[in-house]
Chain A
Amino acid sequence: MKICHNVVTILYGVNPADLHKPDLLHNIYIGLFKHMMEWVEGFLKNHKRQQAFDDAWKEILPYPGFCVPKRAYREVIQ
């Protein structure tokens, strides 16, 4: 198993559960970005630009460290 060096694992006598942490994963990536996508979709729908958005979404070219989306955002169901 890989050992992750994180401030939580280094400090002595610290219980990770007690720390107040701004959590990027839950706050930004799957929190605000998700809200933002809802607004953006509503906005695109109002202005009838959804198709253009989907096309642009599918045509992103790959570059290192970036995983290319194969399907449009609307088509992905989670």
Chain B
Amino acid sequence: MRNLGRCIATVLASALRNPDSSQHQDFNIALNCVGALVDFSLMTQYRSHTPDTLTYMERYLQTFHQMKHIFLEFRTSKSTRAEVNRQDRELSRLMANLIAQDAHHISAAQRRRQADQNRLQRVNRQADLHQRENHFNFIKMHYLSHFVSHVRRFGSILMYSTAMGELAHKEEIKEGYRRSNGNNTA
């Protein structure tokens, strides 16, 4: 995943090249958003900081928060999706019932128009629900806002990373265990 941080911005830029006139703005915002997050994550890896670099960090975070709305529609949680699907099913059943009731005294064309209208209504309703339920209020997102103050208080963030401890689980700890007789290990 660290590799991902190194290449995602360029790969995305290359994937989004030659946009249409309608896509141009969206693509720019998305690229800036991803770029800001990557820049921020790169700055958190600095081993030493100056007030300038901290200001840069704050600015990147601010840019990210300004731009993130472009991704809001993809922030649907599982429970929201289930809820939306459930409501959609109910609505479609209700509409089918209504159409079936009126079936004998309206013409086929009218029925078709009614079905089209219903479909539009369902799509709108879904979009509405997504709009209302999607959000960026999760803890990892909030945590970024404390990084700068953390650097001021405790120093560079990199040295608190658990990556080193977890890396040890890949080889070093296992090596020791394999050579032991397995008694009283933990």
Contacts and interface: CB of A to CB of B under 8 A. Distances in A.
Interface of A: 1-2, 4, 6-8, 19, 21-44, 47, 49, 52-53, 55-57, 60, 66-67, 69, 73
A76 B161 CA distance: 25
13 contacts: A1-B176, A4-B168, A6-B159, A21-B160, A22-B147, A23-B161, A25-B163, A25-B166, A29-B4, A29-B41, A33-B41, A38-B74, A56-B11
B15 A49 contact: yes
Contact of B11 (A7, A34, A57): A57
B1 A53 contact: no
B162 A21 contact: yes
Contacts of B26: 47
A53 B11 contact: yes
Chain A binding site: helix, strand, loop or mixed by DSSP?
helix
A32 B138 CA distance: 10
Interface of B: 1-8, 10-12, 14-17, 23, 26-27, 30, 34, 37, 41, 44-45, 70-71, 73-75, 140-141, 143-144, 146-147, 150, 155, 157-164, 166, 168, 172, 175-176
